[in-house]
A and B are shown apart, each in its own frame.
Chain A
Amino acid sequence: MTIAAPEVQDMTSTDRIEKRVEVRASRSRVWRAIATAEEFGAWFRVNLEGEFAEGETTRGKITIPRYDHVTVALQVERIDPERYFSYRWHPYAVDPAVDYSAEPTTLVEFILDETEGGTAVTIVESGFDRIPLERRAEAFRMNDGGWAGQARNLAQHVS
């Protein structure tokens, strides 16, 4: 499994977003960046309080300018050292007026694989089909079928 891929690869579907990125760093280095709350916060841009532990929730404020009003809560699911890290959260929960706590969460997974030049990081966020619309997937598929072009043209036209 040593596929050279310098850029972020996109394997997004309707229920899941999947990204794969090759980094020139050892697996243990990448693991620390992902599984340590402080390092995670540095690149993800969130001020996390406390450490990651299976079954525990770690909270923090986003530090990205447009989203700095947002507090995220990461419910850590599984920590498999240097291989796999996962948590659940409410995706794109950016509207302070909305209570997201009753909505289903999505699962975010980080999978590490050693490559010749370093480490491949696969990031998967899944479970979007369970977020208020069961059938959204099909709607998006249709959208990509016959009239996606039309929709795009219209959107371009009006914006």
Chain B
Amino acid sequence: MSPSGGAALRVTEAVPVFAALGDATRLGLVGRLSVEGPLSITRLSEGTGVTRQAVTRHLHALGDAGLVRDARRGRERVFELDLQRLDVARRYLDEISRQWDDAAQRLKAFVEEE
């Protein structure tokens, strides 16, 4: 029932990811990167009402959590999502959900065995 060793999620891995996503601006950036693909800071600042400096700061926060990384595209520096890292955040809930599946089955077996 339990996932194979490598898939076991350590909660310490998930916490910084969740913390980094707990901000409307950063979540908005993640949203745009997920829809539009890799973007430069200039593009990410457009139409947000947030300054370039603030966007840069938020991208660093997302980068520290391993959610976003920067890359070169020609002469431009672009930011892109690290999908694997985001998958870690999702797996946190999946893991808890799986534990409840097991617990529900054990409860069923426990009350039905008499």
Contact = CB atoms under 8 A, between A and B. Distances in A.
Interface residues of B, number: 47
B83 interface: yes
Nearest to B23: A135
A21 interface: yes
B34 to A, nearest CB: 5
Nearest to B88: A155
A143 B81 CA distance: 12
A14 B97 CA distance: 11
Given A23-B112, A132-B18, A151-B86, A98 B100 contact: no
B96 A147 contact: no
A24 B114 CA distance: 10
Given A23-B107, A92-B11, A93-B11, A142 B18 contact: no
Interface residues of A, number: 52
Interface in B1-48: 2, 6-8, 10-12, 15, 17-24, 27, 30-31, 34-35
A95 B16 CA distance: 14
B68 interface: no
Contacts of A97: 12
A8 B105 contact: yes
B22 A121 contact: no
A19 B104 contact: yes
B32 to A, nearest CB: 10
Contacts of B84: 151, 154-155, 158
25 contacts: A12-B93, A12-B97, A25-B112, A29-B111, A34-B107, A43-B106, A44-B103, A92-B96, A94-B11, A95-B11, A121-B107, A123-B100, A132-B18, A132-B19, A132-B22, A133-B89, A135-B24, A136-B21, A138-B31, A139-B30, A142-B30, A147-B81, A150-B83, A155-B83, A159-B7
Given A19-B101, A21-B105, A143-B34, 9 more contacts: A21-B108, A30-B107, A44-B107, A132-B15, A134-B23, A139-B30, A143-B90, A147-B81, A151-B90
Interface of A: 8, 10, 12, 14, 17, 19, 21, 23-25, 29-30, 33-34, 39, 42-45, 66, 91-95, 97-98, 121, 123, 125, 128, 131-136, 138-140, 142-143, 145-147, 150-152, 154-155, 158-159
